[in-house]
Structure 1
């Protein structure tokens, strides 16, 4: 039997294990083969039969052949495995060499630790750190803790800096190189440590910091050099570390800078001894401020205000102090001068006080006399204002009583004008009507100016279409112009404005009245000009014109400009004064342009307004009043003036109306049942007897009726509060004296709706 082969060293490689198994199998098969051959050769003499021995040998030969083929196949597999193993070993060696080359090729120091954190590999860069310092390189198997300990204890690391914002730690090595250490875990639980040289980055950062410090120092130097004060910093060794140019200029002896010198070398011994107690105080941690008189190098004496401020380090120790010295010589001189002036002033004040005492006594006497005079003047002014206010309030209050008989006469003459009495009688009636017009105009003007002065009239600003207002005014004044032989042209306008329609109409009527009154021949024009946010309503005439020096005067009360050769008129000179007061109340600008011998233009500027949507519907549904008649209309007239009741009844019956007049609600109840009797419209005066008013009487009547009757309220009161009150009740308001044509239009308008 062949001798057994020596045992190979144990291996963990699967391919080595497989090869060992195949070799053991080959040895076992060889042993079996040799044993079989030996048995055949040694046992043939014991076989009794030759054939049996032959058969047995054939079987053994077949078994040997099969086992030999299996052995050959196993040997082939062993050869293939050996080739694969050799290739794997070659590839592993190649990979290992490449890894070593890669580690050696990086610029950083590289160290690899296994899962037990024992050193297994490092590159030359890491080893050179140790070799450069003459230290032993850590051997394979050294722990990471031991490596770090040796780094610190050997002096290889001089400084260590850690920052949470930066990755890893930064070290300053003994060779003045900066290294950043970064640790990274491996997949198998080991550790990779990289040592990167960041010296260039550190030097660049240091250069930037130095540059920033130099720039900051330059700016500090620029600022302090331009401050009109002596500034310095003194260290704890009393050496001057910093000073500005002003400090150098004062303490620089013989042109030498005090920078870097001790205070006892800069100052004279006498001055230093005076400063020493203050220096000791500031070095003890106190802020010190004091004044000293000093003499400069040229012998100039100056007063200096010094301030010493201690400088503490991070541990609270005093490492020096700041010096701020201000020249207060001028201030001291000024203070001395003020002190002297004060002494002189006290003396002079004492002298003047004696003089002023006498003057004050005289002034007090004069002041008392003037106070008495002013008191009398105030009393006289108040008395005049009360008298004027009493006058205006009286005129405004009695306007109702003044207009009552005039209103009745107007109603009677209007009724007479609609009757046929012959030409002579009609002429007399028209003359009476004209006279009543003149009286009405004069009285209305006086009442209006008094109410404006008393503040009774308040504007009722609303948005309305100018069409109806201008049409009515043009229709009214066209007849007046024709009677005077003048031509009145009118340019219609549908502009919407924001104003008080009644007050605006009064302005335009006064314009037209003056134009007709002072235009002897020619034409008058009423029209509008649209502007951006306003409408300019103008009245043009071809009258004699107004001198330039009189353009302002005509707007004053009782001022009239009568052209030469013109006849005297019946006006009072209040028309344009009323225009001026109303325009100021409404905030409308009134302008006048005139040329003598050519004519005049009166204008009022009214702001543009916006109508409510319902207004358009009302205008579409409106029907011209002339298209309706008052035949058979049942009208109740309530007025405490019996003359007005008779005149109104005569006028309305002339329009084919059925009229019932009454002086009060009880008077009406005696004639009919107000809750059931048929009625189409109620005409009521606001002011009735026994402190009653038309609004309450009408409300009592309509409260009894299933369907309230429309109401026209007539009054001589022009106050805004009353106007708003009547409007809130849903009634139509007309002011006295009532124009018959306007009354007829109002009746038709209410009855048709």
Structure 2
């Protein structure tokens, strides 16, 4: 393995060009000295020879003395140069020794790195590796690449030896992802060195890949459950037939009647589920529906067991966005009993001449039965209407309930996050720390799923009110692009981003939710290619757009995709992805913000989703310096006196564990009365009060801390914690000068807020 240069190791090195220059200078001086000696000897010979025209003896002697002096001076210069060369050689020896020591230290340092490490010189030839990188080659028949191998040779050897099973290459991303022969996923990150070399790190991301797969499976299972909830309780035979006469949707009653040998009719053509005779009899009515006319008619059918039933069929055409016929809805009701009654009545009329009186009585009886049946049908329809109203009221009640109980739903999640944060600050060994990180990641997933459920419920209940302000798009777009670049890379996609610093009028959090749902959909349904996030300026608005190179959306589905639980199956895809709520949330949020959302698509080429946001103008306000998060996180909280008031004992315990782990002195209480039983709030020293907004017995944190500060000479800084996201409460907390943090509390943000309060002595506004 070649020894890296001292510059590569951060040690100053003597320039090799200086040695060469010294050597050339010495050679020139020696040559000149030789020429002078020859000239001296020639002059002496000439003076002594007594030839004609020779100078006077004294002049010749004088000239030789001058030459001798010049020789002496050149000799001294040569000796001085030799001394300087010796000094330089000694310095070079010391430098090499220091370089060797530094190289050994570097070797020890890179050996301790958990990731695979490779160092290349400025010619991209291999210099050094660590044992983790060399262990990757253990499962191949080839040895570890030798020192001096070019980076292209290393890559070719990794592919040829079977070390790399699968590769996701993204030229504009920060790294590449590989599946190795030991079934582990690694991400390669390259960083240039100062002298033009290259450092390559291989990080194991297998757990991230497995977690992503688990989330997808859970999403598919949840989607299937929702579909069953919607369809299993519909009493009629309902189906939707596309323009190609293929059944695209049917409920269980329809599937049970038209299923043959237990097979579902879903996805089959009507010609394959009906007999040829029945299909031809139905064709005129289907053609009428496909021409745009609603059709209702009775039809005799036979079930799988051969039972004859009369069905009342209704075909209602479905018009696409441009007025074209996309298909038709099918509603079928069993009217066998009514039809048989009518047939009996008809037969009674046929025999009227022979048995007028008898048939008249029978007719009267039949008419009575018919009126009774009509009354029963009217009563049944009334009951159905009542049941529908009751179901709508129950659904609205459920929606409002889910929106109202978000606090209770987030309480145990908040406590779990606090305990997990406390565990992450302890040292249990690599395996236990991985498990704790996995638990933390799972809590993030639960928080995301719960947030989606609560958001759709709050949107339905109308409890979310927009907080529209003027703000710069730059930070919002940069954060979203940074967040989704890793997700796109994990899917083997390229995420391009075109930023903008235009000022817009909107709710930044709700607008970010729209863009995140657009990007999530684009990445989820794009198998290969790229996704683009960018802006287009218009006269008085900005068009925020997400482009993809996915399979596209049929024109007759462009409006349907914004409905709840609606998805368009990709061509060749084994199963639909997602819950079908993402674009429904986008539609609801855009209506709240009054932002126009549009979509255009070309099948086989891709789609573009857009939201039009009006331009705004920043209003003048007092400049507030943003706290230095890095410095705040490094501040010591040891000795800080903190009171925690929360009606959930588990959260009190979790807060106490986290805060005491930071060196704080903590007192917890479930109410003001509980705090007063432990100490005197008017006299005891305290630095910060952490209070939950929702307390028991109709109490709230604002009233509690108001009572505490009212009994003291000077108010105590307050951090108000809540699961209530309403703008009214946010504004109220800001007016009181308290810090607002939303549940579940993120420990890093809590520590940053506490450090800022303790350093400045005042509260700062925060939305958690």
TM range (shorter): 0.3 to 0.5
TM-score (norm 2): 0.45
Larger radius of gyration: 1
Greater relative contact order structure (CA < 8 Å, 6+ sep):
2
